[in-house]
Structure 1
Amino acid sequence: MATIELTGDTFTETIENNDIVLVDFWAAWCGPCRQFAPVFEEASNKHEDIVFAKVDTDAEQELAAAANIQSIPTLMAFRDGLMVFSNSGVLPANAVDDLIRQIRELPMDDIRAQMQAQAAGQGGGGCGCGGCNCGANNG
């Protein structure tokens, strides 16, 4: 499956209406972004059940700011509408494949329960922050 371009108008709908979404925040002038682009495209062809999307940070500055993008490329992964991974920098193909395997294996019911407990002020570790035991550690 080819990658799709996301905009401020399509971002939330895409994240919420697909099981797994990988989003590459990039810019045309960015050398590391150009280096990562073929890796991302190859992964999109291998994993056709996953939505692979790109956000041009120059064209979508408000979206990049809302996503708190500090450097590019930044890869974000969402599962069931929740961000479960975020990493700045170029990832090699084997790391992207491993990331996808880990995302598929995430215990989403446990993660949602932890997030609900945290939101209710009852503790819990949250998800995707790298500081809990949910398996969604960044990096």
Structure 2
Amino acid sequence: MATTQISSAEFEKTITDNDIVFVDFWATWCGPCRAFGPIYEAASDKPENAGITFAKVDIDRNQDLAAAAGIQAVPTLMIVKQGTVVFQQAGALRAEDLDDLIDQAKKLDVAAAKAEAAQA
């Protein structure tokens, strides 16, 4: 599917119109971001990930969105499933770690996780 650059204006629509959205918050000046970019792009192109939206947000061009999302370091990966943020972590990932996160996101039952959290 390839990655899609999104802005603050497109963010809400992107996360509500798609079941699973991976968002890479990055910056052009960030070395780890440049290292993670090709890994993220490769994951977006895998046929088994066709149902996942892979978005990228340039924090310098979308400072309001980065602030609202609590981004304090880049790269930061956010996973939104069924409109709920289910994962957010700073730091570049290795390809196998990203693949593992993708598998976990696919398997996650958001309703069950919310119910479990409410009981805790």
User: What's the TM-score bracket when you normalise by the shorter of the two chains?
Assistant: over 0.9
Give, in whole Å, the separation in 1 of the partners of 2:105 and 2:5.
22
Higher helix share: 2
- Structure 1 vs Structure 2: percent identity of aligned residues? 51
Q: Deviations over 1:44-94 (max 9, x none)?
A: 001121000000000000110000100000000011010111110010000
Give the C-alpha shift of residue 109 in structure 1.
2.1
Report the TM-score, using the length of structure 2 for normalisation.
Answer: 0.93
Give, in whole Å, the separation in 1 of the partners of 2:65 and 2:105.
24
RMSD: 1.1
Q: Which residue of 2 aligns with 1:108?
A: 110
Secondary structure of the residue aligned to 2:8 is coil
Report the TM-score, using the length of structure 1 for normalisation.
Answer: 0.81
Q: Which has the larger radius of gyration?
A: 1
Q: Which runs of 5+ in 2 are unaligned?
A: none
What code does the residue aligned with 1:95 have?
Answer: D
Alignment of 1:29-40 (within 5 A): 29-40=29-40
Give, in whole Å, the separation in 2 of the partners of 1:63 and 1:108.
24
Which has the bigger relative contact order, CA under 8 A and spacing at least 6? 2
Higher strand share: 2
Give the count of matched residue pairs.
118
Identify the match of residue 64 of structure 1 among 66, 69, 78. 66
Secondary structure of the residue aligned to 1:25 is strand
Secondary structure of the residue aligned to 1:68 is coil
